[in-house]
Amino acid sequence: MKILWVKAGGLVPPDIGGKIRSYCILKELAKTHAVTLFTFYAAHLGDMHSQLDTEFEKVVYLPMHVATNRGLGELTSFVSNVFSPWPHTVSKYCRPEVVASLRELLAEQSYDVIVCDFVVAAGAIPWEVECPKVVFTHNVEALIWRRHFEVSRNPVWRLVSWGEYQKMIRFEKSFLKKSQHVLTVSEADRDFFGRFIDSSKMTIVSTGVDTEYFRPDAGKELSCSLVFTGSMDWMPNEDGVLYFLRLILPLIRREIPQVRFNIVGRQPSDKLRAAVASDPGVRVTGRVEDIRPYVHEGSVYVVPLRIGSGTRLKIFEAMAMGKAIVSTSLGAEGLPVNDGSDISIADSPEEFARKVVALLRDPEERSRLGLAARQLVEQRYSWSSVAAEFDAVLRRVARLSNGREMNLSVDEIATVRGVTQ
């Protein structure tokens, strides 16, 4: 099967959740299919996309000048987009030159299916082309913006967030309705989209993790050590960490004054660095080549997120490493975890602090939670299994769109339409 995979934001390095998920699935698909990757993204030093030529049948990559530093440049970009019907996230990537390049590719080549990776890429796809299109939604983009609006205390940012939410909900409705099929990563996301598209048009694809790469090593754990990992240029991560620093960490220190906290992830903002500048017990690493040593050191892995959608790969990685995890309900949203069994869930600052303190004081309970977490992901969530689910959906959607539905069994038709989900 010939697959055209269209992705905004680039694919490598696979250092954030969406890229990791896409890259791992694509590598598996490329073992049995002819995969063309078409990606457009912010130009940056050390661009690795040329190295993908050996992994896929064809790679078209378009680096562009895009404001990504959350400073004046991005604010100006938001303002200039205020009268556009499209969300800023879409407009800044889906430019005329990107659309023209993709049209040129489709004029030269035919494909069995087009995968729109994240709904943002939908703005670059010529939807009139007669090829089945599958939208791979790693989260609900509109919901993220609504949650920004709900938690922000800055009136300007609240206004921006509300405007983006309104635009994004219209955008998602429009292009998900146009697609032949929609893939989601959680039941929560499927239920949200089910408000405006038929549930028979959707399939849930599991989240995966590399259980060979992420393995436990209890001997490296440091006492009274907390760790968070995630790209700090993703606003929900920064919000969650600042929330933890402001409202949760002080409560933990009342009980355990010597506790230390490592914040591991690329491009921390000046705001975050300033917040911890005078605190010797908090370390902000910035980008690291390998997060595993930092996770190994942590006694407890924390996920204090208040904003987001989809599923957090960071939790599966920590579970694969056998860590005891304390997360908000939203942080663990969409994952097959159970409070008290393989993770600890807490939503108020007081409850979150209490559960962290209890785990720091109880190594046996930390070990029990970590072992249960490792067993869960090891048994059910390898990337090869996830890619097999993905592959089955693409094959069936392509066959249905080619007018061969009558050649499918009743069970196959039901699976394509999402009835078995």
Q: Which helix (H) or strand (E) holds 272?
A: helix 270-276
Whether 301 and 407 share a structural domain: no
Say whether both 167 and 274 belong to one domain: no
Q: 268 and 349 share a domain?
A: yes
Question: What pLDDT sits at residue 381?
Answer: 87
pLDDT band at 310 (very low <50, low <70, confident <90, very high): low
Q: What's the domain range around 99?
A: 2-208+383-416
* pLDDT band (50, 70, 90) for residue 419: very low
Confidence at residue 418, expressed as pLDDT on a 0 to 100 scale: 41
- Residue 213 belongs to a domain: no
Structure-token pair, residue 20: 């990791």
- Quick check: is 362 in a domain? yes
- 103, 126 Cβ separation under 8 angstroms: yes
In angstroms, the CA 299 to CA 296 distance is 8
Mean pLDDT of 274-299: 96
Asked if 323 contacts 226 with a C-beta cutoff of 8 angstroms, the reply is: no
The answer to whether residue 79 scores a pLDDT higher than 80 is no
Residue 39's SS3 state is: strand
Are 97 and 134 found together in one domain?
yes
Do 48 and 149 fall into the same domain? Answer: yes
Which of helix, strand or coil describes residue 252? helix
**What does pTM read for this prediction?**
0.78
Comparing C-alpha atoms, which of 78, 5, 68 is closest to residue 41?
Answer: 68
User: What band does 145 get if pLDDT is binned at 50, 70 and 90?
Assistant: very high
Using an 8 Å Cβ cutoff, are 171 and 86 in contact? Answer: yes
Asked if residue 244 and residue 159 are part of one domain, the reply reads no
Position 287 confidence tier, pLDDT thresholds 50, 70, 90: very high
**pLDDT at 409 exceeding the cut of 70:** no
Residues 297 and 403 reside in one and the same domain: no
CATH number of residue 269's parent domain: 3.40.50.2000
| Confidence at residue 336, expressed as pLDDT on a 0 to 100 scale | 87
Residue 412, pLDDT score = 45
Phi and psi (nearest 5°) for 327?
-135, 155
Domain count, the chain: 2
Q: What is the DSSP string of 373-391?
A: HHHHHHHH--HHHHHHHHH
Same domain assignment for residues 299 and 357 = yes
**Mean pLDDT confidence for 123-140:** 96
**Domain presence at residue 421:** no
